[in-house]
Structure 1
């Protein structure tokens, strides 16, 4: 993987007559453009939405603005938390010309984006992702949502930010498990969209990437470019963008089954990708060596390739019940994302009963 010669990269996501920049720059949290955004909010019509963990770390910076703080973790992507944030927005006096800054990982980006999309019929918002997962994936493309007890991201919309500011230095506060959580989405792009990228990532370890900023920045940029290309072709997830959900249907079911406590998002996705690779061998779409290599690289980045505990048939049925409510279901079918080959995916409709039966067999083997 080439070293980064220029520390600052600006990419643009273009949608019809709309476009917004994605700035990748170490230290951009203190950049002139971000300072100008903060200064424009002096009238008190801007609010940062963040979590309590980040507020404790960055309180000196955050106190410049009005701040709404929620609990860290997936539990804050809840319809009740969403309602609470709306009420706080009203109490803070944020008007229809107001601005929201989402300062956090994927949970905060989804929650704050959905608040922005719906508060007074929609106000501007900016993304400042603080996790690797959010930097390479969820902060880009405008998918915003909250969860219901029935499943993940069941209430949401497509609402693009005005800009995304990616500051890799913010990752310094993450622990190793959170780094691995983000690498699951990086591996999704490599395994599903870019064989050369996969081959390059196979040379490194999680420790290598955590320690080398000049290695990290090109990885972030490469993922962002793939995401931009897909979203520009299919903003509303009606076709090719569905391929970005590789491993997610299974992963979301795993997260929900364990009440978003046992497995992080990326861990669930990693297991989902591993299951898809195994099923691709059964279908003749991957050979055994390719499947083993995928599992090896996922494991190399400190991610699981199977559930940690053996499951009974009843437990598997309970887990897979979440797929019935999955947002990608179409009547009695789901979109089955699988391989054309390593580095290239395809999507085709599959009867939900067949889909669940195949996944059930793999989970019971684990």
Structure 2
């Protein structure tokens, strides 16, 4: 069922949430058929110049649909290689060169069509071009839909660590077309479920219980369960971002498992371990450390492990992991202050907290045991 809007475009049924940031507030649309619904998302494009940035996996599937929606504008596209290893300054320079070739002005818009790598990279390029132009997020992976596309964190990786170069730059809107998940490979889909679990783990015990009851439906990609999980995840993220846009307090809780996870991604080599897989392992490590420090009960750690395993996500470090090297890499995390680790731990399901000054001597046994 659909309604029609001007120029014969079809308006799909969609759920709309809003990230409330005063004059920089923006909508998140969630629904089926949204890529073809240009009557909705074109409304946030303010200028004539539009660059669509995608990758070699997503572009053959969805780029033409987006370009059709830009009919009448001065648009171009840039297709980059796929993979975390390409979230780099060199690829960012390619986006900036494409904007220069387009003769993009300060009212230009960059559209990020792809997963979290494309969203972060294109968003960072938009933040840099002429000191900041608009961008629109069209995430096509579950992980990007429930996490990285919302909140304005953009950036690229360095060999020394993940996301060390970046900027806060909010999008003009987020278009979550759930139909794109039909083409998502199983491993990529499961990776996204880790971030969904995170929202229940850090601040919503009722949602965590819902995930436990609906794990089989989510694993099977049942549309009703999937739509509910995406909406609840985005609602949680939008609320946190509205209260703490620049991660000066509460927003840091969204990094539950990420200090461990980012270190593991860097150690393994970008692309060898998917982000959600690393976060799943990282959440278990954070829960185990919380338990060891007497901050959380063991039953909650076991419940987290059971849910992640029900969703076919890893819960232990890969063979060959080096505890000392992982600990060294954890010190590159952006949440650390004055050379001291600042970790996101928990008191149990639904109760994450920021814990500064965790001693290396407490972390080593957890890494070695994992």
Give the structure-1-normalised TM-score.
0.91
2: distance between equivalents of 1:104 and 1:357? 41
C-alpha contact 2:46 2:108 (8 A) present in aligned 1? no
What is the match of residue 334 of structure 1?
Answer: 341
Shift of 1:60: 3.0
Give the one of 17, 30, 48 matched to 2:23.
Answer: 17
C-alpha contact 1:210 1:216 (8 A) present in aligned 2? no
Determine if the alignment matches structure 1 residue 57 to structure 2 residue 61.
yes
The verdict on how the C-alpha distance between 1:208 and 1:20 changes in structure 2, with shifts beyond 3 A counting, is closer
2: distance between equivalents of 1:143 and 1:185? 16
C-alpha contact 1:51 1:71 (8 A) present in aligned 2? yes
Shift of 1:213: 0.8
The verdict on how the C-alpha distance between 1:162 and 1:70 changes in structure 2, with shifts beyond 3 A counting, is same
2: distance between equivalents of 1:179 and 1:326? 26
Q: Deviations over 1:154-192 (max 9, x none)?
A: 111111011111111111001111111000100000111
Moved more, 285-294 or 237-246: 285-294
C-alpha contact 2:218 2:226 (8 A) present in aligned 1? no
Determine if the alignment matches structure 1 residue 301 to structure 2 residue 311.
yes
1: distance between equivalents of 2:67 and 2:288? 49
C-alpha contact 2:21 2:242 (8 A) present in aligned 1? yes
Instruction: Give unmatched runs, 5+ long, in structure 2.
Output: 1-11, 69-74
Shift of 1:16: 3.2
The verdict on how the C-alpha distance between 1:67 and 1:210 changes in structure 2, with shifts beyond 3 A counting, is farther
C-alpha contact 2:341 2:356 (8 A) present in aligned 1? yes
Shift of 1:282: 1.6
Instruction: Give unmatched runs, 5+ long, in structure 1.
Output: 1-5
What is the match of residue 189 of structure 1?
Answer: 199
Report matched runs for 1:52-131 at 5 Å: 52-64=56-68, 65-131=75-141
The verdict on how the C-alpha distance between 1:362 and 1:270 changes in structure 2, with shifts beyond 3 A counting, is same
Q: Deviations over 1:80-111 (max 9, x none)?
A: 11112211221222222211111111111100
2: distance between equivalents of 1:35 and 1:19? 15
C-alpha contact 1:99 1:124 (8 A) present in aligned 2? yes
Shift of 1:35: 6.4
2: distance between equivalents of 1:7 and 1:54? 23
The verdict on how the C-alpha distance between 1:38 and 1:68 changes in structure 2, with shifts beyond 3 A counting, is farther
The verdict on how the C-alpha distance between 1:38 and 1:306 changes in structure 2, with shifts beyond 3 A counting, is same
Secondary structure at 1:30's aligned position in 2?
A: coil
